[in-house]
Structure 1
Amino acid sequence: MEKEKMKWPFSDEKEIEQVKEVLASDSWWRGTGKKVLEFEKRFAKYHNIKYCLGVSNGTHAIEIALKILGVGKGDEVIVPAFTFVSTATAVLMCGAIPIFCDVSAETFCLDPESFRKVISEKTKAVIPVHMAGNVCDMEKINQIAKENNVKVVEDAAHAQGGEWKGNKVGFYSDIATFSFQNRKVMTCGEGGALITNSKELYDKAYLVHSVGRPPGDIVYDHLVLGSNDRMGEFQAAILLCQLERLENFTKIREENAKKLLLNYICLFDYLFISS
């Protein structure tokens, strides 16, 4: 990669052409455009998941996920003690109570046994967060959740391209949510997504994110109480390019991570031996 292009966010002529295409189309919102639909199909396929919904940002993605799972006043939702604030505030926005559990000292991800210990009769859901390049033990978390009738929402805000035992993040849970904010591994400045294998949950999420209106509505048929959390065509156009290069960028990150880890080990050994 050329030195002048070692920047973030990364973009090239592909993003420019995609944005120009949207600009010329005069269809700048998902109701009349095609880019959001195209991105949703490609992002779902990438994760081997049936459904994807593009939304305004990762915070709203979590709020929508909790709402369509029936989380409300008096419910408890377990979240890791180490995470971005939106993981917990999304719970509060639903009128529920965030209950904090410990994270693993090795991965900084939610510790399954700590999760098990804080489950109560009021627990409605858990939000494991894939943190700093590490992926949660989703098999164990989902097993504990299933045993206790707890729904699982994966906060995969910066886990695009992440895998657990050969499956992309989101494969094991009821819903996974993503952020495409400026610092994420895939970005369009601001944006988010939900993925799920449940058509029922997807249909509910679509209504909530589009002010209660079903796909193709032209008569203002508001079926449920919702908000305007839709993704725009410009964001989707950029994300199509970002997704295209995600696999290659992931390989580069993994190679760089190995080098950094090796340097850290060498430095640690040097300091330990010197002392």
Structure 2
Amino acid sequence: MAELALKGGAPVRETPYPAWPCWDDEEIKAAEAVIRSGKWGMAQGDKVLELEKKFAAYQEAAQGIAATSGTTALRAALLAAELEADSEVIVPSYTFVASGTAVLEANLIPVFADIEPETYNIDPDSVESLITDKTSAIMPVHLAGLPADMDRIMALARKRGLTVIEDACQAWGSEYRGRKVGAIGLAGAFSFQSSKHITAGEGGMLVTNDSGFALRARSIVNCGRREGGAWHEHDRLGGNYRLSELHAAVILAQLGRYQGMLERRQQAAAFLREKLSAIEGLRPLKLPEYATASSCHLFILRYDSDSFGGLKRETLIKALNAEGIQPAHGGYFIPVHRQRVFLEKRVGSFDLIASHRFRGKVIDYAQFECPVAERACGGEAVWLLQNLLLADREGLEDIVRAFEKIRAHHTELLE
């Protein structure tokens, strides 16, 4: 087999993978129409309302509430759930930091659970072990679009009287036992940030089947205004989390072509799962039987360094990138409970964690143990980003060839 590109050989691939974001004339026409209308804000136009209805319908939920980001959608959801201040919300430690910081910003305390070794989703056993008399909610994250084990999460919630808020920011179109995620719990948050499958650069959405929750959430994202009330009448604490008409118009154009792109990613992921599973030391995340559809936001591999003679993940990724497989990287490299914002409690005025007592002691995030999350961050997880899944068959085969090439020559990369 040819010499590794890192050692001066020819790369497996020289053609770039599809760029992201993707757009065409539909986005341009939609944006231009809003600009020419002069109705740029939600209060003046109708694009945000149209998006809320269409996205909720796509996720099989009764209502949608647009927001400026997935992060603000999470915060609004936690506030609209009316959880007791200083109560605890259990979140996974392998996720984007906003899953934890949104909890703090809602005057609540994040408690970090470990993840399942084969799916990287929140581990229900870990969740159960962390429930206290102060626990008010569970926030499962559907990582990379792979649904979490919602039967077990919902059973725990019912047993202990807890609220479930889904972080579905990577899970547009994902299904749990044939049901779209997002409104399995009380509500779910989605993101339209620039790396996401449906994007306008920024944006977010809540979906829910609870009309009372929806009213509260709409108020919170609109500066605490009451539906039908005066513009300068504010009934509750809220913020300006309103999505603009311009963002909504672009997202609507993206949503219109999303199903076809979703199916393309799913087919690509199935191909890679079959081919890469045959390479010793590479294990794609498990697709449980309950996960009837994944958005395939990322294709994540569990890398066994020992099978590659101790080759570090970072070296493997450098080799992949050199072979033209870009972007590939290690993903989250610090578990959320190990981020300095939590370890050093750098939270400004959100200082409840300075004195909150977890099981009799002032909460200390250094004492949380999430060994699977730490292993994933520390050298096991390898991410292939979503635009690689939009490649043609040759592009997908190049990914396989690159891994095979590195596997065959891995001893040349050992330090």
Q: Does 1:159 align with 2:194?
A: no
Partner of 2:391: none
Which one-letter code corresponds to 2:191 in the other structure?
A: S
Partner of 2:37: 25
Post-superposition offset of 1:258 = 1.5
CA 5–99 in structure 1, closer or farther in 2 if over 3 Å, else same: closer
What CA RMSD, in Å, does the superposition of the two structures yield over aligned residues? 2.2
Match of 2:90 among 75, 78, 81: 78
Post-superposition offset of 1:92 = 1.1
Post-superposition offset of 1:267 = 2.4
Which one-letter code corresponds to 2:49 in the other structure?
A: L
Q: Is the 8 A contact 1:31 1:216 kept in 2?
A: no
Counterpart-to-counterpart distance in 2, 1:261 and 1:34: 42
Partner of 2:252: 240
1:91-115, CA deviations, whole angstroms, 9 ceiling, x for partnerless residues? 1112221111111111111111211
Identity of aligned residues (%): 37
Partner of 2:113: 101
Aligned counterparts, 1:100-119, within 5 A: 100-119=112-131
Aligned counterparts, 1:90-239, within 5 A: 90-215=102-227, 217-239=229-251
CA 155–269 in structure 1, closer or farther in 2 if over 3 Å, else same: closer
Q: Does 1:261 align with 2:273?
A: yes
Post-superposition offset of 1:218 = 4.8
Partner of 1:48: 60
Post-superposition offset of 1:269 = 8.3
Post-superposition offset of 1:246 = 1.4
* Unaligned ranges ≥5, structure 1: none
Partner of 1:59: 71
TM (norm. structure 2) is: 0.63
Post-superposition offset of 1:222 = 1.4
* Unaligned ranges ≥5, structure 2: 1-14, 283-306, 309-406, 409-415
Post-superposition offset of 1:73 = 3.1
Count of aligned residue pairs for this structure pair: 273
- Give the secondary structure class of the aligned counterpart of 1:268: coil
Counterpart-to-counterpart distance in 1, 2:260 and 2:62: 24
Counterpart-to-counterpart distance in 1, 2:67 and 2:129: 33
- Give the secondary structure class of the aligned counterpart of 2:143: coil
Which one-letter code corresponds to 1:231 in the other structure?
A: L
